[in-house]
Each structure stands twice: as C-alpha cells, then as structure tokens.
Homo-oligomer: A and B are copies of this chain.
Amino acid sequence: MTRPRPLTGRGDLADSVRVVGEFGVIARVVARAGSAAVAEVGPGDDAAVLRAPDGRVVATTDVLVEGRHFRRDWSSAEDVGHKAAAANLADVAAMGGVATALLVGLACPADTPTSWLEGVAAGMAAECAPLGAAVVGGDTVASAPGSGAVVLSVTALGDLGGRAPVLRSGARPGDVVAVAGRLGWSACGLAVLRRGFSSPLAAVAAHRRPSPPYAAGPAAADAGATAMCDVSDGLLADAGHLAADSGVVVDLDRAALVRTMLEPPGPMQQVAAALGADPLAWVLTGGEDHALLATFPSGAALPEGWAVVGEVRAGTPGVTVSGEPAADVAVSVGAGRTGHVHFG
C-alpha cells in the first residue's frame, strides 16, 4: 500500500486526523462541502433533512477502497473526491434522476493529513455543484489499528422530477441500444499509470476524474428509454446485466462502437500503439468512465449525446458483438475477460 504523501508540507503531518480529532475533521470538511439546493437541515445535526420535490427519492451507495479503486500517489485528494462523487451521481442519472445530495462514510488511518480530507471534500463539492447537489452529512472515523487503507462509502440521493424510473429490466426485442459518454478512457489511463507514465494527460485525467454524462440520463428517460444502466464494470459486463434483467440478447455493433468511441483517433490509439494493445479492449471491458447504456424503442428520436451502438434481439439472454459471443470477442481483442476487475 502506498503511504500518504505529505501533500503540502510538514504542517500537514502534524495536522492529522489524530491531532484534530473527529469533530475537527468534520468541521473542516463541512466548510468545503458547498450547500445542496434541497437541504432544509444540512450537516451538523443527527441527520440532514432534504426536500424530495418528486415525492420519491433515488438512493444508491458505492464504496471506494484505497489500493483497489484509487491510489494516493496516482490521484490527488481532489481527484478521489471527484471520482467517488461521480460513481454515485452517475447511478442516479442511470435511473433517469438528478442527484441532489451526498452522504459520506469515511474510514481513514489516524495519521491521514486533514488537508487530504479537505481535498476530497473539495473534489466532491466541485463534482456535485453543477447539479445543485452537495455533501449534506457523513461520518469520519479512524481505521482499525494496523489497517492503513482509506475506505470511502458514498451515498447519493436524487430526484426523478416526475419521471418513471428507468430500470435495467425494460429492454425489448427490436429496441435500439445506445451509449452516452466515453468508454475505455479510464482503463487506458490506468494502463498508462501502471507502466509508470503520466501522459497522454487526457487519458490519465480521464482515469483520475471521470466525466459521466449526467444530463443524458434524465434526457433518455424523457425520450422513452426502455432500460438504462451506468457502465461501471465495463460495457460487455453491464450490457450483460441489462440483458439478463430484461431477458434479451444485447447485440453490440462492432463498427458502430469503433466509429463512436475510437474516431477520430486520439490518445487511446496512441497509448494502444505504444503498448501493443487493441483499444477496443478498453472500450468493451474498461470500467469507471460511467458512461450510460440505454435501450430505446426503434424509431425513437435519441436525445443529444446518445449514439446507437447495437440492437436488442430475442434469444437466450446475453451479449453479442456483431453476432459473436461477448466472451470470444473479449479474448480476440486481448481483454481476456468481459468484466472490469479493479486494479487491486
């Protein structure tokens, strides 16, 4: 495990969680939290109280573990905050909702610099702010003795604005399959970092801070999407979840994926050429970009940002790529597996 670096000098090492204490940390983090438009009672009481304009609330939790989902020598504190928030905000978008608030459970070693925690809070606040969301509560505790890794558990809440939630189970034969957002960039960036490089920066930055297409989720719901999910485990894996839950075959169009995700050529081709890899492997199996995958009735007008990359067919539930089984395609592009496995 990579030990924390003193991020801004010697002062931080003295100014650790152990020294400042739980309440000191909370006060400093709250100062960075921004404020949620829906908050009637914000941080600092036993619980937050949030308006739920729709009369329903969307709720989801994702856990990030240091050494598995991020490394403190590869990502700044702000990067980790952006990434932890994005993973959850994207899940709300994938239901057709708009995120309104985050709650954060954090376990960290007692010697964690408070500046690192403030950086995480600032990153979360920055990722949330364009949506009007903010961190409204949480709990910070010291890890167990001898356990040096940070664990960050984030819960996002959101509002559906009157929309019906878009589930994974609604895809029907004849629907088109579409994607919004980027695929493969985070995995490409990780491949760069793993080899000890830090450029091309566009790929590395994509790994450090994903850019999920938040607005595409509610737009898809408004456009009549029949099923939707967030791509966090990789396209083949998440399409597989959607196919299984809907009882259908999701057939991805290889040429459409190349056209949509790999043209015009950019950093992914550059890195792939240097590493002797096939960039399609990252597109098909890379996780953590938090693109959205959805199905729409054939003939539906797709909202801005969505591109058709396949179609839904009847048959034994599963995923094919231009008719070929996903597992075979994963092997042929050198991915070796259909699902994303985090780097720990």
A41 with B167: CB separation less than 8 A: yes
Q: Are B63 and A141 in contact (CB under 8 A)?
A: yes
Tell me if B47 and A60 are in contact (CB < 8 A): yes
A43 CB, min distance to chain B CBs, angstroms: 10
Q: Which residues of B contact A228 (CB under 8 A)?
A: 46
Question: Cβ of A149 and Cβ of B144 under 8 Å apart?
Answer: yes
**In the docked arrangement, what's the CA distance between A60 and B135, Å?**
11
* Cβ-defined partner of A56 (8 Å) among B45, B49, B136, B144: B49
Q: A47-B97, A95-B47 are known contacts. Are A67 and B144 too (CB-CB below 8 A)?
A: yes
Given contacts A95-B47, A107-B65, A230-B46, contact A344 B59 (CB under 8 A): no
Q: Is A279 located at the chain interface by the 8 A CB criterion?
A: no
Q: Which residue of B lies closest to A156 (CB)?
A: B47
> In this assembly, does A332 line the interface, its C-beta being within 8 Å of a C-beta of chain B?
no
Contacts of A49 in B (CB 8 A): 56-59, 95, 160, 165
Residues A48 and B68 in contact, CB atoms below 8 Å apart:
no
With A145-B67, A157-B57, A167-B41 as known contacts, state yes or no: A46 contacts B103, CB within 8 Å.
no
Assuming the A-B contacts A1-B145, A146-B1, are A106 and B168 also in contact, with contact meaning beta carbons closer than 8 angstroms in the complex?
no
**Closest residue on chain B to residue A217 by CB atoms:** B46
A92 at the binding interface (Cβ < 8 Å): yes
Question: Assembly of this chain: how many copies?
Answer: 2
- Residue from B1, B142, B155, B167 within 8 A of A155 (CB atoms): B155
**Partner pick for A142 among B61, B68, B105, CB 8 A cutoff:** B68
List chain B residues, Cβ under 8 A from A55.
Answer: 51-53, 55
**A: number of interface residues (CB 8 Å):** 72
Known contacts A49-B58, A55-B55; A344 and B144 CB within 8 A of each other: yes
Q: Which of A53, A59, A60, A141 has the most CB of B within 10 A?
A: A59
Q: How far is the CB of A13 from chain B (nearest CB, A)?
A: 21
- Contact across chains for A62 and B94 when beta carbons are under 8 A apart: no
A258 CB-CB contact with B under 8 Å: no
Contacts of A64 in B (CB 8 A): 141
Most interface-central of A60, A158, A167 (chain B CB within 10 A):
A60
A47→B91 contact, CB < 8 A: yes
In the complex, are the beta carbons of A151 and B52 less than 8 A apart? Answer: no
Asked whether A138 is an interface residue with its Cβ less than 8 Å from the other chain, the reply is yes
Q: Which of A44-93 contact B (CB under 8 A)?
A: 44-69, 91-92
A47-B158 contact given A59-B136, A107-B65, A141-B63, CB 8 Å threshold: yes
Give me the interface of A with B, judged by CB distance under 8 Å.
1, 40-41, 44-69, 91-92, 94-95, 97, 101, 103-107, 136-149, 151, 153-158, 160, 165, 167-169, 228-230, 245, 342, 344
6 further A-B pairs in the complex, CB-CB below 8 A; given A47-B60, A64-B141, A105-B155: A40-B56, A45-B165, A47-B94, A53-B55, A61-B105, A68-B144
Ordered by A's residue number, 13 sampled pairs between the chains whose C-beta atoms are within 8 Å are A41-B167, A44-B245, A45-B165, A49-B95, A51-B56, A61-B103, A61-B137, A63-B105, A63-B106, A63-B140, A67-B144, A105-B154, A147-B148
**Which 4 A-B pairs rank lowest in CB-CB distance, beginning with the nearest?**
A105-B153, A153-B153, A67-B144, A47-B60
